[in-house]
Structure 1
Amino acid sequence: MVKALRGLDVDRQDLPRVLERYPDVLGLKPDGTISTSVAYLVGIVGVAPRDIGPMVTHFPFFLGMRVGTTIKPFCDYITSLGLPMRILARILEKRPYILGYDLEETVKPNVEALLSFGIQKEALPLVIAQYPSILGLPLKAKLAAQQYFFTLKLQIDPDGFARVIEKLPQLVSLNQNVILKPVEFLRGRGISNEDVARMVVRCPQILLLRIELMKNSLYFFKSEMKRPMSELLEYPEYFTYSLESRIKPRYMRVTSRGIKCSLDWFLNCSDMRFEDRMQGDFIEGDAPGPSFTMGGKLQMPGSQLVSDDDEDTDDEVLYRRTVMI
């Protein structure tokens, strides 16, 4: 069996960990359940062969799962919700533990819970891609608690709460005291409760920001940019961009050219697109629809990554950062 595990590219130093976590692997036949499970994940789902070894290290239990009764039904159900198979493959490469979620007892009830709390069916693939662990949480209780909190403390109604979860599902697990800090900061700057609620529904990512960074960005907005607060209320995504690496240099470029434009126009684009705009002789309209991108990894307060992996594939970045499919 050790030879078989090495054949799956499990590093030699990881073998004791695998055997300690899943000693029953010694009773499996390499040419039986193991080979069929791996063959299905690689050949049908599309998992990269090079990632099988790390998957075994992180969650060796999938080696003993039968394709017909466990792995295939799970994959079929998730893709039936609209998540492309290639995205599911990328998720499994990084988070193979979701294969251990019981389909009937946990996964399906959690999907039903999301729908019952107003999350739109067409948003489910994005929710799952952003936060796969949501499939295994005691979700109904968490959603109920957070919805009540959002209504009571943030003055966001159930429909607004659903839109927030669609855009940032990690909020179901975020501590409520952490959520309140950015809200209280904005309210303390004279922004009404209603306007703060609208800002959160439009861009829930502001709930993850460090207050010190928000202070610096707001100071620059008021003292240097001297724009009306109404623009900030309409585009709270401003706070999610780096002040030093994006806001300041781009603002200086725009100002030097005497260009009058919205925050969205000069912030919500790639560096290449921004350069194209600086070279243009006209100002095009803002891109339609809420599809802003945030630079860098999405982080929970306290420097705890929402995603517990070090790198994301392009597909995962696309699904996690956009707010529409």
Structure 2
Amino acid sequence: MLRLRLRHTVLSQLLSSSPASPISHLSRLFSAAAPAVSPNPSFAVEEYLVATCGLTRPQALKASAKLSHLKSPSKPDAVLAFLAGLGLSGADVAALVARDPLFLCAKVEKTLAPNVAELTGLGLSRSQIARLVSLPSVTFRCRSIVSTLEYLLPLFGSTENLLRALPRAGGSILSSNLERVVKPNVAFLRECGLGACDIARLCIPTPSPLSISTERIRTAMACIEGLGVPRGSRMFKHALQAVAFLSEEKITTKVEHLKKTFKWSDAEVGIALSKLPPVLMRSNQMLESKSEFLISEVGFEPAYIAHHPALLTYSLEGRIIPRYYVVKFLKENGLLDHNRSYYTVFIVMEKVFVEKYICPHKEVAPYLAEDYDAACRGEVPTRFKFT
């Protein structure tokens, strides 16, 4: 424990010093703070992970398999002191170690401390760096993370924007080769008319289109144009997200399924995809159930759905079906014009729907709101009550 406290003190001194302080000073401080520790044949990694790092026994058992080479707590102690000096809580440290056990083997003087110094030089505060270290999508024990983050910051506009986006992102963009993959992809996408904000959004999903080869992005772009979505259009970035990781064979299969399911012509498929490319990412089962209800029950024509593909983004059970039966009930009981479009009913916000189609009929249909709530829970009554 004395050694750990000494290392914590040393790291605190280093991290509180100015960004210009030489990182090599850390090595001298460590040498003075604690004597070298000889390998300990009896060092129990699993017990160390539980007692010192705060892992649960199952977590420690799993993590210890990656740390079996450790013969003493020297290196893990230094890493834990580093994390404590950054201000990470015990829970944050436990989560980090459980997620990435090899972080305990990172080199403080050669990797972790230089990363902190360089990120501080980029304008990140101590608390922001601590947040970065804690993110599941970030591998802070790699030196390359600094150059990648330095490149991404202008795309996101600010450190805060980047830190807010990264929790939703996977590690694919941060672990991709900056010079051979990320930069060429960004340059190509700029040529296609995408701005910094659009490109930044492509960094967020896992996997990100920016993490694949530029050749693959060019192929995807050609496929997108073949689907009727021109580069530079508002839907281009959404189309790229939808098809970047699909093979041409899978895209062809999906298009054929759309034609069969919705009885669309080639032209109608093109219209639907140009308006809503993510339709390609919807499951076949979901598309089939929506086609059955919208065409057979509601009575929409296939061409109408192609021109209004937003219908395919709404929950069938939680939105479309309950609203359909409410409006059908109102029409059948003379409370609503029979020509009222179901499309306008499906697309309005929930608050607007309730105010427009439920509240005005409380006196003549007192059970309508109750039945609608039940329908939204998947318990569509066999008949809406009317008194």
TM-score (norm 2): 0.57
1:250 aligned residue: 323
Instruction: Quote how far apart the aligned CAs of 1:196 are.
Output: 0.5
Which AA in structure 2 matches 1:159?
P
Task: Find the structure with the greater CA-based Rg.
Answer: 2
User: Which of 253, 278, 290 matches 2:357?
Assistant: 278
Instruction: Quote how far apart the aligned CAs of 1:193 are.
Output: 0.4
Which AA in structure 2 matches 1:220?
F
After TM superposition, the structure 1 = structure 2 runs for residues 41-60 of structure 1, keeping only pairs within 5 Å, are: 43=124, 47=128, 49=130, 52-55=133-136, 58-60=138-140
After TM superposition, the structure 1 = structure 2 runs for residues 82-97 of structure 1, keeping only pairs within 5 Å, are: 83=157, 85-95=159-169, 97=171
Task: Work out the CA distance in 2 between the residues paired with 1:121 and 1:34.
Answer: 25
After TM superposition, the structure 1 = structure 2 runs for residues 200-211 of structure 1, keeping only pairs within 5 Å, are: 200-211=273-284
Task: Work out the CA distance in 2 between the residues paired with 1:48 and 1:26.
Answer: 15
Instruction: Quote how far apart the aligned CAs of 1:207 are.
Output: 0.6
Contact 2:228 2:271 in 1 (8 A): no
TM-score (norm 1): 0.66
Cα 1:93–1:217 change in 2 (3 A) is closer
Cα 1:145–1:21 change in 2 (3 A) is farther
User: Which of 219, 224, 227 matches 1:145?
Assistant: 219
185-194 vs 207-216, greater mean Cα deviation: 185-194
Cα 1:37–1:276 change in 2 (3 A) is farther
Task: Work out the CA distance in 2 between the residues paired with 1:18 and 1:130.
Answer: 21
Instruction: Quote how far apart the aligned CAs of 1:269 are.
Output: 4.0
Instruction: Quote how far apart the aligned CAs of 1:263 are.
Output: 5.1
Task: Work out the CA distance in 2 between the residues paired with 1:273 and 1:51.
Answer: 40
Asked if 1:224 is matched to 2:297, the reply is: yes
1:74 aligned residue: 151
Task: Work out the CA distance in 1 between the residues paired with 2:101 and 2:208.
Answer: 25
Aligned length: 269
User: Which of 206, 231, 235 matches 2:308?
Assistant: 235
User: Which of 112, 115, 138 matches 2:187?
Assistant: 112
Higher relative contact order (CA 8 A, sep 6+): 1
Contact 2:133 2:139 in 1 (8 A): no
Task: Work out the CA distance in 1 between the residues paired with 2:135 and 2:159.
Answer: 20
Cα 1:100–1:3 change in 2 (3 A) is same
Cα 1:71–1:173 change in 2 (3 A) is closer
Contact 1:46 1:89 in 2 (8 A): no
Which AA in structure 2 matches 1:11?
V
Q: What root-mean-square deviation, in Å, do the aligned CA atoms of Structure 1 and Structure 2 show?
A: 3.8
Q: Deviations over 1:157-207 (max 9, x none)?
A: 461696544124322112333333442123224311011011011111211
- Structure 1 gap segments, 5+ residues each: 282-325
- Structure 2 gap segments, 5+ residues each: 1-77, 361-387
User: Which of 238, 246, 261 matches 1:167?
Assistant: 238
Task: Work out the CA distance in 1 between the residues paired with 2:184 and 2:124.
Answer: 29
Task: Work out the CA distance in 1 between the residues paired with 2:250 and 2:176.
Answer: 28
Task: Work out the CA distance in 2 between the residues paired with 1:40 and 1:274.
Answer: 52
User: Which of 88, 97, 103 matches 1:15?
Assistant: 97
Instruction: Quote how far apart the aligned CAs of 1:276 are.
Output: 2.9
Task: Work out the CA distance in 2 between the residues paired with 1:253 and 1:59.
Answer: 51
Report % sequence identity: 19
User: In structure 2, the residue corresponding to 1:191 is in which secondary structure?
Assistant: coil
Question: Following superposition, which runs of at least 4 residues in structure 1 exceed 6 angstroms of deviation?
Answer: none
Q: Deviations over 1:70-99 (max 9, x none)?
A: 2663244323xxx56433212233447434
Which AA in structure 2 matches 1:212?
Q
Instruction: Quote how far apart the aligned CAs of 1:146 are.
Output: 2.5
37-46 vs 170-179, greater mean Cα deviation: 37-46
Which AA in structure 2 matches 1:141?
E
